[in-house]
């Protein structure tokens, strides 16, 4: 539904009017009202004025809100793709980490730690070296297949070059990006950098010159 069509539909319903009643009040054909609310057409000129008068909607506010939303969408476009939101990137990373913890990290730690006591005391072999090697392997495997990592795949995202907009799908590219991600995961600033960045990039995104976008 278009921005204007959605506003008209919501206002009509909030006033307890049916489409037939709105058509009668505004002197606009019922089929036109239906087409507007079904996003088949957008009201203009006299039709828009009549509907807004019937629903007591300020036309200027309606047009300005449409412009603001369009401007916001355009600001999130890079190379024709919509930037992945901070929330979606966080969710993808969280789910991916959970999957790796269950399937790789816990079994590996238990297997490599000599005793349960040492394991419970957090004396385990997972560190920078493991994170770096694991990142290299994950990036080399998943990027040629998914144009990103496992979390990206699940949430319908992909990684592209910030310079050209090309898909980031080479094994070497993915390996380096995931290596940096794994190593930076031991620090705070490189990971939460995204909270202040207008392009929703972490520090490793900037170093590898990449964006995470909606597919």
Q: Do residues 90 and 8 share a domain?
A: no
Q: Do residues 20 and 125 share a domain?
A: no
Q: Do residues 105 and 193 share a domain?
A: yes
User: Could you give the number of structural domains in the chain?
Assistant: 2
- Of 162, 172, 170, the residue nearest 207 (C-alpha): 162
**Distant-in-sequence, close-in-space partners of 203: CB < 8 Å, separation ≥ 6:** 184, 189, 190, 191, 193
- Of 186, 180, 182, the residue nearest 208 (C-alpha): 180
Q: Do residues 92 and 180 share a domain?
A: yes
Kindly report the three-state secondary structure assignment for every residue of 99-149. HHHHHHHHHHHHHHCCCHHHHHCCCCCCCHHHHHHHHHHHHHHHHHHHCCC
Q: Do residues 105 and 132 share a domain?
A: yes
Q: In whole angstroms, what is the distance from residue 39 CA to residue 59 CA?
A: 18
What is the pLDDT at residue 190?
Answer: 63
Give the residue from 23, 40, 75 where a domain finishes.
75
Q: Do residues 90 and 67 share a domain?
A: no
Give the residue from 32, 60, 75 where a domain finishes.
75
Q: Do residues 132 and 152 share a domain?
A: yes
CATH number at residue 34: 1.10.260.40
What is the pLDDT at residue 123?
Answer: 54
Q: Do residues 112 and 24 share a domain?
A: no
What is the pLDDT at residue 165?
Answer: 92
Give the residue from 46, 75, 104 where a domain finishes.
75
Apex 98 CA angle, 97 and 104, nearest 5: 80
Q: Do residues 87 and 164 share a domain?
A: yes
What is the pLDDT at residue 24?
Answer: 92
Residues 157/94, Cβ–Cβ less than 8 Å: no
Apex 49 CA angle, 43 and 55, nearest 5: 95
Q: Residues of the chain whose pLDDT is less than 70?
A: 1-2, 65-75, 105-106, 109-127, 189-191
Q: Do residues 64 and 46 share a domain?
A: yes
| Tokens linked to 115 | 């005793």
- Of 12, 3, 9, 10, the residue nearest 65 (C-alpha): 3
pTM summary value: 0.59
Task: Quote the domain boundaries for residue 27.
Answer: 3-75
- Of 127, 88, 125, 89, the residue nearest 108 (C-alpha): 125
Q: Do residues 71 and 86 share a domain?
A: no
C-alpha atoms less than 13 angstroms from C-alpha of 130 in its C-beta half-sphere: 12
């Amino acid at each position: 539904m278009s921005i204007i069509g959605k506003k008209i539909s919501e206002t009509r319903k909030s006033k307890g009017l049916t489409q037939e009643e709105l058509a009668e009040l505004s002197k606009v054909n019922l089929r036109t009202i239906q087409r507007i609310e079904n996003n088949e057409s957008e009201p203009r000129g006299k039709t828009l004025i009549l509907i807004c008068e019937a629903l007591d909607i300020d036309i200027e506010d309606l047009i300005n809100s449409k412009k603001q939303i369009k401007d916001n969408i355009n600001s999130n476009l890079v190379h024709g793709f919509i930037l992945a939101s901070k929330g979606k990137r966080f969710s993808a990373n969280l789910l991916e980490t959970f999957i790796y913890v269950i399937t790789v990290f816990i079994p590996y730690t238990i297997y490599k730690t000599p005793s349960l006591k040492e394991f419970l005391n957090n004396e385990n072999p997972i560190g920078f070296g493991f994170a770096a090697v694991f990142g290299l392997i994950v990036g080399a495997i998943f990027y040629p297949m998914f144009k990103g990592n496992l979390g990206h795949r699940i949430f319908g995202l992909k990684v592209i070059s910030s310079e050209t907009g090309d898909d980031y799908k080479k094994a070497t590219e993915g390996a380096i990006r995931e290596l940096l991600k794994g190593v930076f995961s031991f620090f705070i600033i490189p990971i939460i950098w995204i909270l202040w960045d207008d392009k929703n990039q972490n520090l490793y995104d900037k170093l590898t010159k990449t964006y995470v976008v909606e597919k």
